[in-house]
A and B are shown apart, each in its own frame.
Chain A
Amino acid sequence: MASDGGVSCLRSSEMLNVGIGGMEPPPLDLDEVHVLAVDDSLVDRIVIERLLRITSCKVTAVDSGWRALELLGLDNEKASVELQRLKVDMIITDYCMPGMTGYELLKKIKESSSFRQVPVVIMSSENVLTRIDMCLEEGAEDFLLKPVKLADVKRLRNCLSGDVKLSNGNKRKLPEDSVTVVQASLPPPPPTPQPSLMTLSTDSSDSSPPLSPVEVFSSPLSSLGDDDVLTSSPECSPTPEESPIRRQKMGSPGLDQ
């Protein structure tokens, strides 16, 4: 299937090899973080791509949730077996998109065994608490208010550059020589038994500090109450109290630059 002009696919064979099992660790490469950005607006795509590149990320930008799923190999087409799965460290997606909303894309990613560990960040121009809650409950890592600023992306980038999530849910930065040991968001390998890698990819759904509303908003001065929802964005009822609610936010507030 032909790629469109602006889309660059990283084949999994181009993945960095993580230095597991006593091998010499690869040199620290600031470009190793690969982000898949999804936005139907060309202007926004260009901006988010630049924001990510300037913070040393490799970027693949696509214009729809369907295209994203296709790249991830999560669409239902059997033909995607040919296409090697894209290796991504983070997915950042607009909420309001025609066809498939960012929320629906989030759900599909979280339903997949290959990519559920990948942090998904939602962007939206509307500051709607129910929407934010819904996304976070579905497993979104963070919610950014548009227009996205450099400080927002730097904060996200910091979280991807070597945070280790310890089993008790506390997160701390490891010194750089340990960064090769853990890749928190490596997708699992294709279905042949490979034990070691995945034990390092810690599950982030357990105890995490609850979000305070202030932490969620990156741009506190946006206008409130602008509740227009254009596409069919499903308003889910909140999950019941007893089920684990993933309200994890990437990084600690102190990492703001």
Chain B
Amino acid sequence: MDTLVAQLQRQFRDYTISLYHQGFLDDQFTELKKLQDECSPDFVAEVVSLFFEDCEKLIGNMARALDQTGNVDFNLVGSSVHQLKGSSSSVGAKRVKGLCITFKECCDSQNFEGCVRCLQQVDIEYKSLKAKLQDLFNLEQQIVQAGGRIPQVDI
């Protein structure tokens, strides 16, 4: 008979694996987990939180730059994309990073429609990841509250 903890742990394991398999996360996220311990139990949550704030700020910059109809500074957009690519890479946000690569190409070729499309996609993608990671962290919390340990998930 499955205890609540065991059920939650299984959910957590399955959900984590699915996030990797569906390409939301890559092994850099695993690297971040290595940096979390009893002294810094919320390290991953804190870093991704900063990352999502970064997303919001940078996407805002890109949107403003693309809004300058007829006078779009593609270098400026590209610069923000580069920064977003960097931070998404650092936290293991694989899909966001992938979109940034495409986005950067649109900036380099001054493809306005392409940039607008990429901007929309990046916005959707980071918000989607944010929701999924929130679910994941919630599961962790539930496990701990039920008296269990968060399992190590090998991908």
Which residues of chain A have a CB within 8 Å of any CB of chain B? 41-44, 46-47, 50-51, 54, 96, 125, 146-150, 226, 228, 230
Contact partner of B87 among A44, A148, A226, CB < 8 A? A44
Contact partner of B86 among A50, A54, A125, CB < 8 A? A125
Judging by beta carbons under 8 Å apart, are A150 and B34 in contact?
yes
Pairs of residues from A and B, 6 with the lowest C-beta to C-beta distance, nearest first: A43-B87, A147-B28, A147-B90, A50-B35, A147-B89, A149-B31
Binary A-proximity of B19-62 (CB < 8 A = 1, otherwise 0): 00000000010011011010010010011001100100000000
A148 CB contacts on chain B under 8 angstroms: 90
Q: Compute the total of residue contacts between A and B using a CB distance below 8 Å.
A: 59
User: In the complex, what distance in Å separates the CA atom of A51 from the CA atom of B34?
Assistant: 9
Judging by beta carbons under 8 Å apart, are B35 and A41 in contact?
no
Contact partner of B31 among A41, A96, A147, A230, CB < 8 A? A147
Known: A50-B35, A146-B90. Contact between A125 and B50, CB under 8 A?
no
Judging by beta carbons under 8 Å apart, are B46 and A44 in contact?
no
CB within 8 Å of A: which of B52-106?
A: 54, 75, 78-79, 82-83, 85-87, 89-92, 101, 104
Contact partner of A41 among B32, B90, B104, CB < 8 A? B90
User: In the complex, what distance in Å separates the CA atom of A226 from the CA atom of B82?
Assistant: 11
User: In the complex, what distance in Å separates the CA atom of A96 from the CA atom of B51?
Assistant: 18
Judging by beta carbons under 8 Å apart, are B90 and A47 in contact?
yes
Q: What are 23 A-B contacts defined by CB distance under 8 Å?
A: A43-B47, A43-B50, A43-B54, A43-B86, A43-B87, A43-B90, A44-B87, A46-B46, A47-B32, A47-B90, A47-B91, A50-B43, A51-B35, A54-B35, A54-B37, A96-B82, A147-B89, A147-B92, A148-B90, A226-B101, A228-B82, A230-B79, A230-B82
* Distance to closest chain B CB from A98 (angstroms): 8
* Distance to closest chain B CB from A157 (angstroms): 14
By beta carbon, the residue of chain A nearest B36 is A50
User: In the complex, what distance in Å separates the CA atom of A149 from the CA atom of B47?
Assistant: 15
Known pairs A43-B50, A47-B35, A47-B91 / 13 extra A-B pairs, C-beta < 8 Å: A41-B86, A43-B51, A46-B50, A47-B32, A47-B90, A96-B82, A125-B89, A146-B86, A147-B28, A147-B31, A148-B90, A228-B104, A230-B75
A150 CB contacts on chain B under 8 angstroms: 31, 34-35
Judging by beta carbons under 8 Å apart, are A44 and B90 in contact?
yes
Judging by beta carbons under 8 Å apart, are A50 and B82 in contact?
no
By beta carbon, the residue of chain B nearest A98 is B79
Judging by beta carbons under 8 Å apart, are A125 and B54 in contact?
no
Judging by beta carbons under 8 Å apart, are B91 and A43 in contact?
yes
By beta carbon, the residue of chain A nearest B108 is A228
User: In the complex, what distance in Å separates the CA atom of A42 from the CA atom of B47?
Assistant: 9
User: In the complex, what distance in Å separates the CA atom of A125 from the CA atom of B104?
Assistant: 14
A42 CB contacts on chain B under 8 angstroms: 50, 54
* Distance to closest chain A CB from B130 (angstroms): 14
A54 CB contacts on chain B under 8 angstroms: 35, 37
User: In the complex, what distance in Å separates the CA atom of A43 from the CA atom of B35?
Assistant: 14
Contact partner of B47 among A46, A96, A228, CB < 8 A? A46
B43 CB contacts on chain A under 8 angstroms: 50
